[in-house]
Amino acid sequence: MHYIITEKGTTAKKIAAILSNGKAKKKKIGGIDAHEFDEKVVIGLSGHVFRLDFPDSYNNWSKVDPYKLIDAKIVTVALKKDIVKTLGQIAKKADYITVATDYDREGELIGVEALNSIKKINPELKVDRMRYSAITEKDIKDSFAARSEVDYNLAASAEVRQIIDLVWGASLTRFVSLSANRLGEDFFSVGRVQSPTLALLVEKEKEIAKFVPRKYWELHAKLKTENGEIFDVTHKTAKFWEKDEAEVSKARIEAAKVGFVRTLKTKLRVEKPPTPFDTTTFISAASAISYTPKRLMAIAEGLYLGGLISYHRTDNTTYPDTLDLKALVQMFQKHKEFGKHAKLLLTKKELKPTAGKKKTTDHPPIHPVAETTKDKLEKDEWKVYELVVRRFLATLSDAAKWEDTNVTAEIGDEPLTAKGRLLKEQGFLAIYPYQKKEELVIPQLKEDEKVDLEHIELVEKETKPPNRISQAGLIKKMDDLGLGTKSTRHEIIGKLYDRTYVQGNPAKPTEKAVALIDSLEKYAALITKSEMTKTLELEMNEISEGKRKKKEVAEDSRNMLKDVFTDLKKNRSEIGNSLKEAVRADKIVGSCPKCDSDLLLLSSRRGKRFVGCSNYPACEFSLPMPKSGRVVVTEDKCDEHPYMFKLKIIKKGARPWDFGCPYCNFQQWQDKVKSEKKGEN
């Protein structure tokens, strides 16, 4: 029997339907759905079947020296025992296995994990690999017809990543958490990629904190032409740092009242179409329409599995020559939203796409692979699908052309400037509305034309601090620095939020995060630097290229980690003390309404959580809190109790709960109890 192993049940169902021309019959193998046709069976794995871990003897954090984890034995643990059992049943019947998981590092490892499990029982199997970038009839049938060898090197590079991340994450997390006496839900999470990423945010927050605003003044005026048309100008000195200077210039202009146009320069500017989407630029573009990386990737996954877009995890920004661009455009000829532009593109003699700097051979840039309509998708699905289609069509479109005009006028010897911007040819902007195309219209002017002062004002402003880094901006920085991969970056950012190291978007680090990075940078700087992670990433790439061995790279990483621990051990007490202080700062909920001392998030000896006064026992003010979930103190204050911060409660697998003001919650609970008692009476 020929078994085809996919990554997910939904993929298995689709691939079976395509390869069998809809004739596959559903069956169960050990409780797992499978699809059979023509002596072939397609089955889905539901992601990783196994995970790496330390033996149970290393589980007690308090009794095991974190340093010992570096060289500890690593074991394979079954994540899904029902699927492992099914693989055992398959092994007894199979004579041929085709791996059809997603073609990337993780997908290759998932396939090889399953393959190794089967080959333990049946080592004589024939094995091959399907590689596809879209779940369409053509892609799946073509990939099945052109099956190739399993890429064991690619799988090995993914496995060594798991080993390195496990060893670094577990040993460092335990060391730091034990040093700060933070166990249970409130442990300090430290990671090979996570910590350098957090360091970027902390560095930016420090820039913002150091920033000292500086006042400046701008001169804004309105001028009237000989034809009575009015247009806006500003002084050529964009920022006056001294108010007196600005007032002198303003007085001169007001005294003169009349001036002339001195220079008039017009030039044509060409705005090139955007390049094809790789994962990073896809995330960046989607953030502009309010999608976080995590949400976007979940929606894109659904569109990919639904056979509507190509694989959404790619580093490629150049369409391969094998991609039939004309056929893809023809799909949209009659489409209500995109048809007009698609027809326009098909009038061109040749479709010449833009190309970015990245060219890889695993997957093409993200593009549509099937046509659908708005009414067939959920609102968010449509918005993401529409973004992909419009970007694809934009990459095949002409450049936009602008007419830029720069004007200099002079009144009382003071230079005033105006800028005009007119869109002469829409080009790609006709189909791609996500890029600004705002025009600035100014009157038709002539050199030496007389202009009258209509209005003038001095506007006081001040310099602004640097902006915080958005989630999309952080992914771009991670990409530039070689932190993580296209598949893992959004997950790393998710962990920063889950561990309450950051809040909001753009991300603001909490006191706990700042203290952690400060301690690591002071006592073990290597952990916070991107260079270390980038070095390991390059070595992992060399494994996939067959240039390095898995064992060798894992050993390199362990030696790096041992050097880190040398510094950590010397400064254990200093690290612990700095983190303990930060944790307390992060637990301050507000000021006590009775004595004005700090209100803190606390736990009783029996494990009950509450908000309590730091002045206890002199002050016994307290408020109850929910039993479970990680509590995050936000920056928002309660309108009714302005001395209290609002709270969020985070539970794994659930959306954050906006708990709000703990005092308001307590009062609402009291009112409810009183109301219920009245009802009983």
* Alpha-carbon distances of 390 from 216, 386, 546, rounded to whole Å: 42, 6, 39
Q: Which of 3, 58, 311, 501 is catalytic?
A: 311
User: Quick check: 369 and 305 in contact, CB under 8 A?
Assistant: no
CB 121 within 8 A of CB 86: no
CA separation for the pair 273, 499 (Å, rounded) = 40
**598: nearest Cα among 584, 619, 614, 582:** 614
Query: Within 10 A of 70 (CB to CB), how many other CB atoms are there?
Result: 18
The per-residue pLDDT for 533 is 86
Amino acid at 455: H
Q: In angstroms, how far apart are the furthest CA atoms of the chain?
A: 98
- Those residues whose C-beta lies under 8 Å from the C-beta of residue 480, and which sit 6 or more positions away, are none
According to the model, what pLDDT value does residue 36 have? 95
Residues of the chain falling short of pLDDT 50: none
Enter the tokens of residue 246.
């600005």
Tell me whether residue 504 is exposed, middle or buried, using C-beta atoms within 10 angstroms of its C-beta: 0 to 12, 13 to 18, 19 or more: exposed
Pairwise CA distance, residues 660 & 290, whole Å: 24
What pLDDT sits at residue 628? 81
**Structural domains of the chain ordered from first start:** 2-150 (3.40.50.140), 159-210+470-580 (1.10.460.10), 215-273+400-462 (2.70.20.10), 279-395 (1.10.290.10), 588-680 (no CATH)
CA separation, residue 440 to residues 231, 266, 419, 422, 423 (Å): 10, 13, 7, 7, 9
- pLDDT at residue number 335: 94
pLDDT in tens, 314-325: 999 999 999 999
DSSP 62-98: TTS-GGGGTT---EEEES-HHHHHHHHHHHHH-SEEE
132 among known catalytic residues: no
Sign (positive or negative) of CA dihedral 337, 310, 343, 276: positive
96-99 vs 126-129, strand pairing mode: parallel
What is the predicted pLDDT for the residue at 675?
Answer: 77
Report the pLDDT value the prediction gives residue 626, as an integer from 0 to 100.
Answer: 87
Query: Residue 536: what pLDDT?
Result: 87
For position 47, what pLDDT does the model report? 87
User: Which residue reads 């009183």 in tokens?
Assistant: 674
pTM of the model: 0.86
Q: What pLDDT is stored for residue 575 in this prediction?
A: 86
Q: 260 in the Ramachandran plot: left (φ > 0), alpha (ψ -120 to 50) or beta?
A: beta
Q: What's the Cα-to-Cα distance from 313 to each of 165, 213, 283, 487, rounded to whole Å?
A: 21, 41, 11, 6
**Tokens coding 642:** 């302005």
Residue 121 is predicted with a pLDDT of 94
Among all chains, which residue has been given the structure tokens 């006496």?
181
Sheet with 32-37, strands from edge to edge, namely: 25-29, 32-37, 40-44, 2-6, 96-99, 126-129
